[in-house]
Amino acid sequence: MFETNSLFILFLILCAIGAAVSAVTPGRRNPMILSWIASASAVLLLMASGDTLLYGQPLQLRLWDLFSFGPLVLRMDRLSALFVFVTALVYLPVSIFSAAYMKQYLGRYSLRSFGACYHLLFASIVLLLVAADVVTFLFSWELMSILSYLLVNYKHEDEYNTRAGYLMLAMSEAGTLAAAMALLLLAGTSGKLDFASLKAASTAMSEPARWAVFLLSFFGFGVKVGLAPINIWLPRAHPAATGNVSAILSGVILNLGLYGILRVNADILPLSQVAPGVIVLIVGSLSALIGILYATTENDMKKMLAHSSIENMGIMTAGLGAGFVFMTSGYAVLAGVAFTAALYHMTNHALYKALLFLGVGAVDSSLGHRDMDRLGGLIKVMPWTGLFFLAGALCIAALPPFNGFVSEWLTLQTMLRSAVLSSRAVKIVFALCGAALALTAALAVTCFVKAFAMSFLGVSRSQSAKTAVEVKRSMRIPMGILALCCLLLGILPTYVIPVLDKAITPLTHESVLNALAPPFFTIAQGDATFSDAFLEEFHDLGAQTGRGLLPGRGLVVLHQGAQKNPVVFAMSTSYTFVVLLLLLGGAFVIVRILTKARTVVRRPAWDGGLRRLMPEMTYTATGFSNPVRVIFEAVFRPSTFDDRKETISEHFRMAIKNGRKEVHIVDRSVFLPVSRAVQWTASLLGRMHTGSVNVYAVYVLLSLFIVLMIQGLMR
């Protein structure tokens, strides 16, 4: 049995071997080598992080001493082990998928450079998550940012991809600088660079310094999360990246920002006031709502999923914000519930978003485009891809019994627990944010009904959709693995919550197991934690069904309130899944019995007397989402343009085309005004350059006079 340290070192060695071998291997063999080595690396990492997460096996590697600032250390606690485990869980199927997927780029782009960057990115992400000092953390963060930029900009011959990559890199660097300043402020207080010393010295920090650390870290890591208004890079980066890189970008890299926010503001320097938590809650809720609005109206499948990633990261951030508010208000158990909901949703999102991006990658590789207005009918020619995409759509739409339902349900229920808070203003904020998240959940259903129906159902609306073929088995199996994981995380929440609780308890210093997943299978009568009346009532409701047959604590998720209201919320997706199977099985049997003696005759569907329904006559993705555009016109605020083509003179026009041009609300409200202000300032300063030496001398004298005046006033 390998120790955790040995498994981790083997992982790093395998990543280095993978990068070196990829750099020298001919292109045609590169995808297969990438798949095998990266998959083996992911398996090693699952074993190492699983040991730490489940059994508390320590991982600590001392690198070297950095002068008087202390040692550089790698340490994996249970919080970082959770993020590492999710990273490996996504990398494994994506690496298998890449073996066949990357062959389409053979002869067009360098598969050697892609393979090398792919393995190095894997190592840099993990090093970032286990870094236990400022230097190693920032070095790994910068390495991750550069490598992710190189992979997003892999198809560099397209100018759009290059511009998207530069935007992503520029915003990432801005975030890195802010996060570095936050960490250096902490280091300045302790005089050391390791996180343990920073945490020990954080109690001596003043409130202004605490606010500075919070704002800098929330902005810096928020860029990577994709929070509004610093998320304009995300919808541009995803269409530029390959399908497998998009899966890693959304399923892994975005999580790193959440990790940074949580590590700094809940572990190293825990928040001491309610206001920062309220800010996190508001920003997360607005990001979620804005993200799903633009996802619902987007017709490019990748851009739609990119906006959806903003929505889901906003939901997680709102959960963290609620946890911060509860923690600073003295409700440690409720804070644990909120953090559990956020990290549960992080795990769920990583899996189903990777599944959806792989599905889009399969569609793109088969058809050559991702425009939902030109798709349709793909379920007939790509049945397995359609089935797995449907599973991902059900997950992200938060429909039971899939995993998205559990975490979103927990998040919304956590918002309702704000009733215990004393501040009326904070309660109002929780109510408004809860309403925004509820609207977000409803729009998500609309969005992914459109995504699946307009892409896979109906008639084919283009020749490429008619002639599409199913992708290879090596691309379908990873999607099946992810779909199965999503289902298991949905129907077995009482087995997932204890694992998450181990990662969260060190932050809140309170376990949420008894409050969120009571041990109905193992509890005895007379237990002081649970009254006999409570046990008898839930026994009558069937909460102990399966006791003696199944391991674990039980199959019911609930939260206990006060004595007057002992149960605030309760549900069981496990029992729901069984009931759904029985209903579907019963319906199938009944239909088979009733139609046994009948002969099924297939005839053309009646379509209003038309001989053949043309693709142009069918409902498109644009038409499906048009009601959302109309209702939220104030958000989108499109401008119309008139494109006129003339033949001889203005009296003879060949065509008049009216169109809509939409500017994202973040660009319109934040970046365009800033850009105009900078341009106006630059033009104003430009007028100072007259070319006259005498005028420049006056400028120098005036500047010197102003400096002397300021010095005199300061004395």
> pLDDT tens-digit profile of 447-474?
999 999 999 988 888 888 888 899 999 9
pLDDT surpassing 50 at residue 1: no
Q: Could you say which of 474, 493, 510 is where a domain stops?
A: 510
Neighbour count for residue 522 (Cβ, 10 Å): 12
Q: Compute the distance between CA of residue 269 and CA of residue 218 in angstroms, rounded to an integer.
A: 13
> pLDDT tens-digit profile of 562-593?
655 566 788 899 999 999 999 999 998 888 88
Q: Do residues 151 and 230 make contact, with C-beta atoms less than 8 angstroms apart?
A: no
> pLDDT tens-digit profile of 210-249?
999 999 999 999 999 989 888 889 999 988 999 999 999 9
Q: Is residue 342 part of a domain?
A: yes
pLDDT surpassing 80 at residue 604: no
The DSSP code for 661 is E
Q: Do residues 249 and 150 make contact, with C-beta atoms less than 8 angstroms apart?
A: no
Considering the domain architecture, whether residues 494 and 625 belong to the same structural domain is answered as no
Q: Is residue 83 part of a domain?
A: no
User: CA gyration radius for the chain?
Assistant: 28
Q: Compute the distance between CA of residue 586 and CA of residue 580 in angstroms, rounded to an integer.
A: 10
Phi (first) and psi of residue 48, to 5 degrees: -65, -50
Q: What is the largest CA-CA distance in the chain?
A: 105
Full domain range(s) for residue 636: 619-661
Q: Is residue 73 part of a domain?
A: no
**Residue 485: its pLDDT value, please?**
95
Q: Compute the distance between CA of residue 609 and CA of residue 340 in angstroms, rounded to an integer.
A: 56
pLDDT, averaged across the chain? 87
Tally of structural domains, the chain = 2
Q: Could you say which of 510, 534, 549 is where a domain stops?
A: 510
Considering the domain architecture, whether residues 494 and 629 belong to the same structural domain is answered as no
Structure tokens at 262: 């949580």
pLDDT surpassing 60 at residue 649: no
Q: How many residues are recorded in the chain?
A: 715
Please count the CA atoms within 13 angstroms of the CA of 80 that sit on its side-chain side: 23
pLDDT surpassing 60 at residue 317: yes
pLDDT surpassing 80 at residue 525: no
Considering the domain architecture, whether residues 623 and 502 belong to the same structural domain is answered as no
Instruction: Calculate mean pLDDT across residues 382-392.
Output: 95
Q: Compute the distance between CA of residue 240 and CA of residue 158 in angstroms, rounded to an integer.
A: 9
Q: Is residue 415 part of a domain?
A: yes
DSSP 101-120: HGGGGTTTS-HHHHHHHHHH
Considering the domain architecture, whether residues 281 and 400 belong to the same structural domain is answered as yes
Q: Do residues 42 and 10 make contact, with C-beta atoms less than 8 angstroms apart?
A: no
Cis before 478? omega within 30: no
**Residue 658: its pLDDT value, please?**
57
Q: Is residue 167 part of a domain?
A: no
**Residue 536: its pLDDT value, please?**
75
> pLDDT tens-digit profile of 343-381?
999 999 999 999 999 999 999 998 988 889 888 889 999
Q: Is residue 444 part of a domain?
A: yes
**What's the Cα-to-Cα distance from 212 to each of 28, 186, 188, 208, 266, rounded to whole Å?**
51, 10, 13, 6, 15
**Residue 554: its pLDDT value, please?**
87
> pLDDT tens-digit profile of 149-200?
999 999 888 888 899 999 999 999 999 999 999 999 998 888 788 898 899 8
Q: Compute the distance between CA of residue 249 and CA of residue 173 in angstroms, rounded to an integer.
A: 16
Q: Could you say which of 491, 510, 529 is where a domain stops?
A: 510
Helix axis angle for 473-491 and 78-101, nearest 10°, is 150
**Residue whose tokens read 């809940």:** 266
> pLDDT tens-digit profile of 5-56?
889 999 999 999 999 999 988 878 889 999 999 999 999 999 999 999 998 8
**What's the Cα-to-Cα distance from 192 to each of 152, 173, 260, 266, 572, rounded to whole Å?**
36, 24, 19, 19, 48
The DSSP code for 158 is S
**Residue whose tokens read 């997680």:** 316
Please count the CA atoms within 13 angstroms of the CA of 224 that sit on its side-chain side: 31
Residue 391 pLDDT class (50, 70, 90 cuts): very high
**Residue 700: its pLDDT value, please?**
83
Residue 639 pLDDT class (50, 70, 90 cuts): low
User: What's the per-residue H, E or C state across 415-459?
Assistant: HHHHHHCCCHHHHHHHHHHHHHHHHHHHHHHHHHHHHHHHHHCCC
pLDDT surpassing 50 at residue 72: yes
Considering the domain architecture, whether residues 421 and 276 belong to the same structural domain is answered as yes
Residue 488 pLDDT class (50, 70, 90 cuts): very high
**What's the Cα-to-Cα distance from 271 to each of 100, 233, 318, 575, rounded to whole Å?**
47, 29, 16, 39
Q: Is residue 502 part of a domain?
A: yes
Q: Is residue 108 part of a domain?
A: no
CA proximity to 396, closest of 262, 304, 286, 297: 304
Q: Which helix (H) or strand (E) holds 212?
A: helix 207-225
